[in-house]
Structure formats: C-alpha cells, structure tokens
Amino acid sequence: MRSIRTRTLALVLGLLAVSLATISWKSYKDAEHEIEELFDAQLAQTARLLEGMVAREMPRSARESLQRALDQATGAGDATRPGHRYEGKLAFQVWDDDGSVVLRSASAPADLVAGLPPAPVSALPGAAAPPPAATAHAAVRPLVGYHNVAVGDHRWRMFVLQDVRDALWIVVGEREDVRGELVGKIALRSLLPDLVGLPLLALLVWLAIGWSLRPLKQMAGLIKSRSPGNLSPLAFARLPQELEPMAAALNRLLQQLKALLEREKRFLADAAHELRTPLAVLRIHAQNAIDASNSADRAESLRQLVHGVDRSTRLAAQLLTLARLEPNAAQFSIEPLDLHVFVRNELAEIIPLALERGQTLTLLADETGDYRIDADRTSIGALVQNLVANAIQYTPDGGRVRVVLHGLPDRVTLHVQDSGAGVPDAMKAKLFGRFVRGEAGTGAGLGLSIVQRVVELHGGTITLDDARLGGLDVGVALPRRHAGATVDLARNSPGS
C-alpha cells in the first residue's frame, strides 16, 4: 500500500473489526447466557404459580374450570391469537403421588416426564420412609430442579417442583429448538447495531482521515505548482504540528540549494572571466611565434607561450581543486597523518620552483615532536602546495621561504613565512576572496581560497600576520582529532 490514507484506513478498520468481533462474540455469549437464565426463571416462576393455583383436594369442577382457563390463557388451539414473537411456548403437567395427572397444558406431550431422572426415595422432602406408592409410581417422582431431556423427536428444557404440602409434582418444560430460536433472535438483535455500524464507521473514518491529510495534500500541490527556478521559501498557511518539521526542512533545503546555485553561478562567471585573458594571451604568443621574422623573436614568443600554458594549467588545477572542495562535492577520506613527514615530502616536490628563482626553502620542526593528526591526505596536500607556491611567487628572487611546524597537545600548527614585500593590513581580510591577488601577484588569486576551504572542512583556523622575514606569515592550526567523517559542507562552505 503506497497510500498513507489507504494504509491508515486498513490498519484502523482492521483493528476495529478484530476488536468489534471479539467484543461482539463476548456480548453474544453473555446475552445468550442471560436470556437462558431469564427463560429458566420464567419456567420456575410458572411452576410456582401453578403450585399456588392447584391443590390436591380441589373439587373436580374447579379443576376443570382451571384447566379451561389455562388453555384459554396459553392459546391452545387458537393459531390467530395475538401475542409476541418472543413469547415462550411453555408446556406443563401436574401429577400427584398416585401417578394421576391433576392438570396439564394442551401443548404438553403425554410422556413429558418419561425422560426425567427419578429422585431417590431418601431424597424426597419430608419422607422419613418410602411412601407406599414410591415403587409403583417412581416415574412421576423426578429429581427436583432443571433438566435437559429428550421427549419424542425434540429435546426439552424442564423445571421440576415438588409441592410437599399437597404431594404434587409440577413439571414445566419448553422445547429447546423453540427456546434456542428465541435466544438466537434476541442475541443477534443485540449485535445488529455493530453489524450495521461497521460500514458506516468505515465511511466516517475514511472521511476523517481524508480531512486530516488535507494539509499534506495542499503542501504537495503547492510544491508541485512551483516552477523549477523558484527557490524562495515555501509560504504555508497554518500547518499541523506534524508537518511543521517537514516544512522547515524543505525551506532549509531550498535555501541551501539557492546558496549553492548562487555560488556556482558566481564561480563560473569568475572562472570564465579569469580564463578568457590567459587564453587570449596564449593566442597572441602563438600568433607572434608564427609571424616572427627571426629565430630569436620566435624563441621568445614560444617561451612566453610555455609560460602562459603553465599559468593556465595552474589556474585550471586550482579551479578543479576548488570545485572538488565545494559543498556536496567534497569526498573526504579521513586517516591518520604524520604532518611532519607529509610536509617534508610535499616540499621535496615544490623545491625546484624555489631553486629556479634562487630562493631558499627550509622546514623548521622539532624532530622529537608529535605531529600526528586525522586528516584528508589529498586536501592537506593542496593546502601545503598552495601556501608554499604562493610564498615562492610573492618572494623576490634570492629570497627566503620558511615552513615552521609546532606540535601542541590538541592541535598542530603550520606557518609559511616569506621574505617578500608583505601585505597591508587593509588587504589581508580580502585575500581569502576568490580571484583576489596581491599587488605583485600574477596568479589566479585562488590559492588562499582553497587553503581556507580545506582548513574549514578540517575544523581548523587560519591567520595572516607579518613574518619576521619581512613578508607574510600564514598560520594554520589543525586539530589532532577530526570531528567525524561526515562534514556539514553547506555550513562550512566559504561565504555561508
């Protein structure tokens, strides 16, 4: 089931159906038991009424008159007599100790007492000794109380009462099929509201769930109706409490997407602007090499062409590095890293750039210090290379570049110092912007942007100070333990 409405309705109605079935079955059994008890009470009450009406010494004329009155009251022989469908169809007989029928109903079969168990003579109330006719007429001295017996083709529910004073036996019975039919009708009628109410309840639950889910449907309609380029926050009317976190999450996602797209647009625009000039310069140098009138001019043009290619290559590499560190693009692989060994290996690759310009590149670190951190090897490599390459670029020929490492209890610091002209204080805060370069710089102005991004993703800090060598001192502090492999890229992104 993919529909919340259908799934909720099925679950609710399933639980209701099981609950109602259990309750209905219990109610049916309880109603059946109570109705049986009521009918049993009716048998006992009828027997006691007959006990009060019949006496052993009643004159024959009075007994016949009573028989006619009882036949008329029970409607014997009158099928059109009005009555109630739940009215019991009782049969009764009154016997004396001699086995003679004193009184009987027209509906009572002649052998009504044939199946009743006889009472032991010693159990007869007031009988200290067996009465004279006890043996001859034991069949009319049944055990007092309720009995279920078979008489003819039917089973009967009977109640036996002994009139000790007049030595009479009163038997009142009711056929179990008639009795069961009445019990079933009455009990089933008590279940009728449940049987009729379940479909009505299902309809009401369906409408109630639909009304409850209407805000969700309206939210979905509002989202569906928006154009793909509209990333402004969603404006909802009053929402249920359960939907407020979803609305807040959607608006937060839209804000993040909007910020990401704006950064990408700004980045692409700046990159296109920065790439246009180097490509134009390369074309000019190539054209000059073609049009050169002598080998010296051609060699100079080709040298400038190679220099331009190197600069464009560096720019493209920095753009790719910066793109890799963008939100939703950075894929970190955090691992233990000895920063001392790592920086030394990186400097070994960069030192030809310094030697080409006659510069001195040195690494200062306590050999016994602990420089282990948790970091991403690739991004830390980009950090070191950009810092040192920037220092080499902004240091004049024959100058000095120094890399200093300090191992502290909770972090490791890396300082890159140069003997260049330095950076004015008013300019330092702007150097972290993209495509911002110093006054003497010829690069793309992306180095410090990349460094800042790497430092932020590692939870570190970066500072710009004046170096003792006379130039700029870029300090980076990296924590020894990374906060986790999962990085909140949107929160830590530049400019966010």
129 pLDDT band (50/70/90 cuts)? very low
Q: At residue 100, does pLDDT exceed 60?
A: yes
Q: Which domains does the chain have, with CATH numbers?
A: 4-74+87-186 (3.30.450), 244-322 (1.10.287.130), 331-492 (3.30.565.10)
Phi, psi of 418 (to 5 degrees): -135, 165
Residue type, 124: L
92 pLDDT band (50/70/90 cuts)? confident
Q: At residue 301, does pLDDT exceed 60?
A: yes
Place of tokens 């109903």: 105
pLDDT reported for residue 404: 92
pLDDT reported for residue 133: 38
User: In sequence order, what DSSP letters do the residues of 361-417 get, joined into one string?
Assistant: EEEE--TTS--EEEEEHHHHHHHHHHHHHHHHHHSPTT-EEEEEEEE-SSEEEEEEE
Contact assessment for residue 5 and residue 12, using Cβ atoms and an 8 Å cutoff:
no
Please count the CA atoms within 13 angstroms of the CA of 472 that sit on its side-chain side. 25
Nearby residues of 198 by Cβ (< 8 Å), 6 or more positions away: 16, 17, 20
Nearby residues of 258 by Cβ (< 8 Å), 6 or more positions away: 231, 232
Pairing outcome for strands 400-407 and 411-418: antiparallel
Residues 213-226: tens digit of each pLDDT: 777 777 777 787 77
User: Pseudo-torsion of CA 52, 56, 61, 66, nearest 10°?
Assistant: 30
Q: At residue 128, does pLDDT exceed 70?
A: no
Of 95-99, 372-376, 413-417, 423-427, which one has max mean pLDDT?
Answer: 413-417
CA proximity to 322, closest of 383, 389, 390, 255: 383
- pTM of structure: 0.43
Q: How far apart are CA 363 and CA 351, in angstroms?
A: 11
Q: At residue 271, does pLDDT exceed 70?
A: no
Q: At residue 312, does pLDDT exceed 80?
A: no
Which helix (H) or strand (E) segment holds residue 155: the answer is strand 154-163
Contact assessment for residue 398 and residue 358, using Cβ atoms and an 8 Å cutoff:
yes
Q: How far apart are CA 55 and CA 66, in angstroms?
A: 11
Q: Give the chain's mean pLDDT.
A: 75
Of 33-47, 191-205, 234-248, which one has max mean pLDDT?
Answer: 33-47
Q: At residue 253, does pLDDT exceed 50?
A: yes
Per the model's pLDDT, the better-predicted residue between 468 and 112 turns out to be: 468
pLDDT reported for residue 415: 92
